[in-house]
Structure 1
Amino acid sequence: MSLMGTFDVGTTGLVAQSLRLNLIASNVANAESAVSADGQAYRARHVVLQSEARAGRVGQGVKVARIVESNAEPRMEYRPGHPLADSKGYVTMSNVNPAEQMVDMVSASRAYQFNIEMMNTTKQLMLKTLDLGK
């Protein structure tokens, strides 16, 4: 892989981690919601990443394979006065675990920073290579 190809790999990582961070933000924003647009409790969403192959070569970056909903059971909270409460007084809440989302956010943020650092290191290496000719 050429040094210029390193920027392509870094860019794919930035795009993937950016989408991951956006989904985490959406999950955190809906952590206390009881009903989503489809009338069901919000389900946490996660990104599934996959190695990207270009021109028949693997290891050329990463891509978002799909976005999946969590299969964890929704939380049941006892709120007898809530308009969405069932006959026993329980409201079906989202299955978002805020602590898990914060750990994912730190992981995605660090991966994003790593890609930036890798691209900066590549840039510095290219500049030093150009200085060899002076």
Structure 2
Amino acid sequence: MSDFSHSLSASASALRAQAARLRHVSENISNADTPGYRRKTVPFEMVQKDGKAMVQTGQVKLDRRDLNHIHDPGHPMADESGHYLGSNVDLMIEIADAREAQRSYEANLKMFDQTRQMSSSLMELLRK
């Protein structure tokens, strides 16, 4: 298989991995106010398939940090002292993760497009 094909496969697998990461970040953001919600993280793993290095997502993991204790005596889930367990999602971390995933996605998309253009240019040269 050609180097162009290997490059396209690597870029495409990285695009899929970053898209999965963005899905989990958006899920974390949307559940930031859900009581008892634990932040989800997704690790990346390097794998070899048919001699090609590719990126894939690992198993989704729950963040084991302590849940926030929120004081709101009027909340239906509050205990006798007026506290309930919130989520452990930090919006600043999620926004930073989203920005990082977006930039990585854009970089991989640019690499994919550059490889495609180089392949097209090579085909044009070979036709002449």
TM-score range, shorter chain: over 0.9
Aligned to 1:27: 28
1:37 alignment counterpart = none
Instruction: For residues 50-78 of structure 1, give each alpha carbon's deviation from its aligned partner in whole angstroms, at most 9, with x where no partner exists.
Output: 101123x4x61101121100011101111
Q: Which amino acid aligns with 1:96?
A: V
TM-score (norm 1): 0.89
2:99 alignment counterpart: 106
Q: Once the two structures are superposed, what CA deviation does each residue of 1:92-119 show, in whole Å capped at 9, x if it has no partner?
A: 1010000000000001111111111000
TM-score for both structures, normalised by structure 2: 0.93
Q: Percent identity?
A: 25
What is residue 47 of structure 1 aligned with on the other side? 42
> Where do 5+ consecutive residues of structure 1 fail to align?
35-40
- RMSD of Structure 2 on Structure 1 (CA): 1.3
Identify the residue that residue 16 of structure 1 maps to in structure 2: 17
Of 99-108 and 8-17, the range deviating more from structure 2: 8-17
Q: Give aligned pairs, total.
A: 126
Q: Confirm whether residue 127 of structure 1 aligns to residue 102 of structure 2.
A: no
Q: Tell me, in whole angstroms, the C-alpha distance in 2 between the residues paired with 1:22 and 1:54.
A: 25
Matching residue of 2:58: 65
Gaps of 5+ in 2: none
Cα shift at 1:122: 0.3
Aligned to 1:116: 109
Q: Which amino acid aligns with 1:70?
A: D
What is the Cα deviation at residue 132 of structure 1?
Answer: 2.1
CA distance in 2, matches of 1:54, 1:82: 51
